[in-house]
A and B are shown apart, each in its own frame.
Chain A
Amino acid sequence: MSTIFGIPAPALYGQILIGLINGSFYALLSLGLAVIFGLLRVINFAHGAQYMLGAFAAYGLLSYAGIDYWPSLVLAPLIVGAVAMAIERTMLSRLYGLDPLYGLLLTFGLALIFEGAFRYWFGTSGKPYSPPAQLTGAVNLGFMFLPIYRGWVVIASLVICLGTWLLIEKTRLGSYLRAATENATLVQAFGVNVPRLLTLTYGLGAALAALAGVLAAPIYQVSPLMGSNLIIIVFAVVVVGGMGSILGAIITGYVLGVLEGLTKVFYAEASSIVIFVVMAIVLLVRPAGLFGREA
């Protein structure tokens, strides 16, 4: 059997794949956080809960309405996005202009409420959610077996990240968003309905988290705590990439996912902390993050 640096090749490829899959979720989640933070200056602690809500929406649609994976991929983000927009209208919008700490505390409280409620209703054990029939099984790539669903997750997340990036960089809506990030008052004085833009942006960020939740459901099981386990790592990714940097969030997400996978191969004991070590180093050397604008 072939080896690379003394590691059996299949094990190495396997961990890189796991890293890519984890990285896909890091990228999707940190992307939503970056979009929200960029415009609203809100550190959205409810992001993990919104990811969990997406997974539960898919689970609920299947168990109670018989609606399967493919429609859920659209419906769950719409449901969670709508809930998020209601939260923005009724609660978050009252905190704009105050210290960002208030938004953080509000979303943190909301996350606890959502997680507590779902733990009460569903318990902490995970609910299985099967991948769609079209994506079951594995293909032999020659050097390894690739479970088709996992390949799909990597490709889908790349497409979603690219799509979101194009939306922000290449469309008129995106130019409003970028401009409002710099000077919301002036953009509104030009006649753009900035309050609505803020609502839509929060909805979009939450919908991205929910979409990640649906993608994750067949891999990780659906559980009330699935988001809180992930969100701390995702915050580290955002800090490394640079708060509010869209491209930074995406690239850092994948890179740190793979780095974590590789650490598992070469020095497994460090794999659960490697991302935080990177974060600490980046904070010391380049506090604005790798892709952030220096203040």
Chain B
Amino acid sequence: MSNALLEVRALNAWYGESHVLHGVDLDIREGETVTLLGRNGAGKTTTLRAIMGILRRREGAIRLRGRDLLALPLHRVAQTGLGYVPEERGIFASLSVEENLALPPKVADGGMSIEEIYHLFPNLYERRHSQGTKLSGGEQQMLAIARILRTGASLILLDEPTEGLAPVIVQRIGDVLVALKERGMTILLVEQNFRFARKVADRFYLMEDGRMVNSFPGNELDSHMDELHSVLGV
């Protein structure tokens, strides 16, 4: 696919000596929401960490708009327009909510202003002077997403944003993702909850043991249920 925003080819990655990704291929087009499904330990987080450059021992190719990311030092990767929302959320205890929000440097024009973000997440506004880690799990997840929206990143890597959250919060995060999609944001979403992901996903990738085992459009989810159940072990 030549018109891909992000292109991953034959990506291998290692934690020290342990070989975790085995030849991963992945394409994301501009404006698309792609969801990566796979059971615990399949290598979803590792894929995101390898794309961001947090995991350094990699082979293969990762290109954003044709530009090779593999050669860049970690802090240069975000500057190409990538935003990362880690699985563990990464809210800083020594920073207030507002400082957490303002922390990631802008990487491009067109990001949301703090006012727009507070409009989208009113509870962050109410708690803007609190210590970041004093927020509830759901609020911390909102904050982790919100702070990337400020940066103008064109591709957001979202690692299991609904993990461990109450249904109403999951619903809220779903609404936010729909809103971002409407703004033309490109999203790579890691999820185990495919019922949640089907609301936003244009395409699914299925991952097992560090390999991509299948990929299909969002509207074909129902015809892949058997495979899904076996791969996800649900």
Contact = CB atoms under 8 A, between A and B. Distances in A.
A189 B92 contact: no
Contact of A185 (B54, B78, B104): B54
A244 to B, nearest CB: 11
Contacts of B53: 189
Contacts of A195: 73, 75
Contact of B78 (A172, A176, A178, A191): A191
Contacts of A186: 84, 86, 90
Contacts of B95: 175, 178-179
Contacts of A175: 95, 99, 102-103
A190 B78 contact: yes
A125 interface: no
A292 B93 CA distance: 14
Given A175-B99, A185-B54, A190 B94 contact: no
A188 interface: yes
Interface residues of A, number: 19
* Interface of chain A: mostly helix, strand, loop or mixed: helix
Contacts, number: 58
A172 B102 contact: yes
A233 to B, nearest CB: 28
Interface string A175-202: 1101101110111111111110000000
Contacts of A190: 78, 84, 103-105, 151
A182 B94 contact: yes
A179 B4 CA distance: 34
A172 B78 CA distance: 18
Contacts of B45: none
Contacts of B52: 189
B99 A182 contact: no
A31 B206 CA distance: 52
Nearest to B106: A191
A185 B56 CA distance: 11
7 contacts: A175-B102, A175-B103, A179-B95, A186-B84, A190-B78, A192-B105, A195-B75
Q: 8 closest pairs, A vs B, by CB?
A: A191-B78, A190-B104, A178-B94, A179-B92, A186-B90, A188-B74, A188-B75, A193-B75
